[in-house]
Every structure is written in structure tokens, then in C-alpha cells.
């Protein structure tokens, strides 16, 4: 493999300068995702004259962070302009999204080690937004529901996904006996009662020079691990094993862990947040049965959540979302009231008039007149 990068930061600088920036002025780039799959990716892959194949843009990157192997390493580079670049053994991917945005709520069947290389990166965990600065490790437990929040600032993140049994082998041969190891054993035990993550920050006792050396050591190790996972040449599993052990040793020695876990109430609020987000995105046709299919909880559970935290029923909540959208369309478009009613999920215009006047005290026509 020629022209190897000496650190993960060198690779990211190349991606930004020779790849992402070259796409910003590409015609209609904002409407496509560009993929170019190549399991044997060399560092000189980023060419300005590369031909791209376009596919439909997906709504989330969560599905791309799935693995069927013992270990997968993924690099994500986020540009504040909306471009998101990812690299893994499966190939490269360049997508455009409106920023800021919140990804879909998801969980893993593996342990995920995230490292913020540059900028900062945020995630909703247990209903609370956590922002992790550059140089921070975050280890996400199995079955911990979370969602990514992508800001309009530049950042880069690397994910190391490790299957539970593979991590178990590593820990059984490790002499580390601190909170990090306890957390990992907890994750491998597949205990679903507690959803938790571990945030690791450099020890405060480290000097400026020690911190600088530590960052360079991590950047160098991350690049080697990414290269081995991309190329998967002979003995790559043994090399990955050693490099990951090196990273775990660094974390145990030079980092201070803080656990973030969810109380039962926080879990409920997180689920409610996702339900509300789904309803707002699908208000025209959403049903309780649809929520059961998507989130796999009973309709009584959703009803209890809405009553407990919003003091409303499912039907009332959906109607409020629909009517709110109707006010926006009445004030900002010239669509007829009938078309607006249909757009908001009401085939019966008379019923729409009745609900609108009941909520706002005036008819849709009278409401629109206020903005003429």
C-alpha cells in the first residue's frame, strides 16, 4: 500500500482538501449520495477527476454503522456545509444533508468505541444531548438507544465496532482491572436493564507536552487500525487485535472514565422524543398500529407516555400537529383550503373546518385573511 498516512489527521486533511471541497461546486451535488465501493482502498483514492455513481439519499447514517465481522472501523468526516464523508472496508460514501440534523434513534448488538478526532460531536443519550470534544473516547454499551446530532460545524469521528465475543477474548487476556474493564464486561454480559455509555477524557494531571504526545500516539494507532481494517491482508486480524489492545491500554492508563446512564424516566422521555419526531414527520397518515410496527411497544404504552408527559391523547397530539402545519400553509401559501386539508391528512374539508375553528376560534379562511 503506497503513500501510507502517518496519522489519521493527515488522512482527514487529504479528504477535506482533495475530496469534499472538490464536490461543493459540483452541479446538483446536494441531491445525491455518491458511493464508490472498493474493498481494497489505497490512500491515493481521493482524485478530483473520479467518476461518481449516484444513488438515492438515505435519511440516516445509522444503518451504515452495522457490522457482521468481529471488528469494523469506520471514519466519518462531517463538513459544516452539509457534506458527510465515510470510509470503511465496504467502500467510500459521500452524502449531503441539511445541517444541523438529528439521526434516527438506534442501538447496537456490539460494543462501539467512538473517538472524536477533530471538532466536537454530539449524541442524544437517555433523552439528554451530550457533546464530546476533540480527543474524547466514548464507549457505547450494547442495547443503549442513542441518536447522533450533526451540527453545522466541521468535525471528524472514528468508530470501532467490536463483536461481544471478540471483545470477551481480548478482555480475558487483559490485566486491566478498572472501571473501563468493568464497563466492558457489563456490555458483554448483554444486560439490557441499564442503558449506559462511558465517556473518557484525558487525565487532568497530564502536562501539555504529555497531552500532545498522547494525541499523536492515538492518531498514529488509529490510522494503522483503519488501514488494517480497510485492506484486510494476511494476518490482519492479529494486527487489529494488537492495535485495539494498545488503544484499550491507553484508555485505561491515561483517561478518566465517566458513566452516563439512563433512569427509567429518562428512558421514557427518550422514547417519547422519538415518537414525537416520528409523528411530526408522518403526521398525514400516522396511526398507533404504525407506531407499534416501528418502535415495537404496545399502543397502551404510547398512550401512557403521552398522557404522563404531554397530558394528551394520541389522537389529540396528531390533530395538533396537523392543525399547526395547516396554519403554516394558510399563512405562507396560496393553496386552497381543501388542498391544505388533504395535505394535512383530512379528506373531509367540513371536519377540518370544525377542528380548526374549535382550536383557534376562527375558520381557516378567517385565519388566512390575517396574513393578506
For residue 219, give every residue at least 6 positions away whose Cβ sits within 8 Å of its Cβ, in sequence order, or none.
7, 8, 9, 117
The per-residue pLDDT for 66 is: 55
The C-alpha cell at 239 is 494486527
CATH code for 264-369?
1.10.10.60
The model's confidence at residue 68, banded by pLDDT at 50, 70 and 90, is: low
- Domain residues of the chain, as ranges? 8-261, 264-369
The model's confidence at residue 26, banded by pLDDT at 50, 70 and 90, is: low
Q: Is 19 exposed, middle or buried (0-12, 13-18, 19+ CB in 10 A)?
A: buried
Q: How far apart are CA 318 and CA 307, in angstroms?
A: 13
The model's confidence at residue 185, banded by pLDDT at 50, 70 and 90, is: low
Read off the pLDDT of residues 297-354 as tens digits, 9 standing for 90 and up. 888 998 999 999 999 999 999 999 999 999 999 999 999 999 999 999 999 999 999 9
The per-residue pLDDT for 128 is: 76
Determine contact, residues 237/169, Cβ cutoff 8 Å: no
Over the chain, what is the mean pLDDT? 79
Least confident of 29-38, 276-285, 329-338, 362-371: 29-38
Read off the pLDDT of residues 236-290 as tens digits, 9 standing for 90 and up. 988 998 999 889 888 877 888 777 766 677 678 767 877 887 898 899 999 999 9
Percent of the chain with pLDDT over 70: 76
Is it true that domain 8-261 has CATH number 2.60.120.280? Answer: yes
Amino acid at each position: 500500500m503506497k503513500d501510507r498516512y502517518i496519522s489519521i489527521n493527515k488522512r482527514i486533511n487529504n479528504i477535506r482538501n482533495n475530496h469534499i471541497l472538490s464536490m461543493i461546486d459540483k452541479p446538483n451535488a446536494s441531491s445525491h449520495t455518491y458511493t464508490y465501493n472498493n474493498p481494497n482502498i489505497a490512500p491515493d483514492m481521493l482524485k478530483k477527476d473520479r467518476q461518481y455513481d449516484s444513488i438515492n439519499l438515505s435519511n440516516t447514517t445509522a444503518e451504515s454503522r452495522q457490522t457482521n465481522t468481529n471488528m469494523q472501523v469506520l471514519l466519518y468526516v462531517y463538513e459544516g456545509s452539509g457534506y458527510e464523508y465515510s470510509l470503511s472496508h465496504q467502500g467510500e460514501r459521500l452524502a449531503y444533508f441539511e445541517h444541523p440534523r438529528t439521526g434516527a434513534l438506534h442501538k447496537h448488538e456490539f460494543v462501539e468505541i467512538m473517538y472524536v478526532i477533530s471538532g466536537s460531536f454530539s449524541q442524544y443519550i437517555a433523552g439528554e444531548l451530550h457533546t464530546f470534544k476533540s480527543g474524547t473516547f466514548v464507549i457505547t454499551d450494547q442495547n443503549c438507544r442513542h441518536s447522533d446530532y450533526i451540527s453545522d460545524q466541521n468535525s471528524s469521528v472514528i468508530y470501532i465496532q467490536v463483536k461481544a465475543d471478540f471483545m470477551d477474548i481480548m478482555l480475558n487476556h487483559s490485566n486491566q482491572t478498572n472501571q473501563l474493564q468493568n464497563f466492558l464486561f457489563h456490555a458483554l454480559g448483554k444486560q439490557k436493564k441499564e442503558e449506559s455509555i462511558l465517556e473518557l477524557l484525558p487525565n487532568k494531571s497530564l502536562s501539555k507536552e504529555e497531552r500532545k504526545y498522547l494525541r499523536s500516539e492515538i492518531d498514529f494507532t488509529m490510522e494503522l487500525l483503519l488501514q488494517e481494517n480497510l485492506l484486510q491482508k494476511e494476518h490482519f486480524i492479529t494486527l487489529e487485535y494488537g492495535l485495539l489492545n494498545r488503544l484499550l491500554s491507553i484508555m485505561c492508563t491515561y483517561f478518566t472514565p465517566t458513566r452516563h446512564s439512563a433512569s427509567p424516566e429518562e428512558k421514557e422521555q427518550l422514547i417519547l422524543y422519538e415518537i414525537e419526531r416520528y409523528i411530526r414527520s408522518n403526521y398525514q397518515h400516522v396511526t398507533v398500529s404504525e407506531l407499534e410496527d416501528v418502535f415495537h411497544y404496545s399502543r397502551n404504552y404510547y398512550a401512557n407516555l403521552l398522557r404522563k408527559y404531554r397530558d394528551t391523547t394520541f389522537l389529540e397530539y396528531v390533530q395538533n400537529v396537523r392543525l399547526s402545519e395547516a396554519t403554516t400553509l394558510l399563512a405562507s401559501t396560496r393553496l386552497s383550503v381543501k388542498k391544505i386539508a388533504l395535505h394535512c391528512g383530512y379528506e373531509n374539508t367540513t371536519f377540518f373546518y370544525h377542528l380548526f375553528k374549535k382550536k383557534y376560534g376562527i375558520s381557516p379562511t378567517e385565519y388566512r385573511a390575517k396574513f393578506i
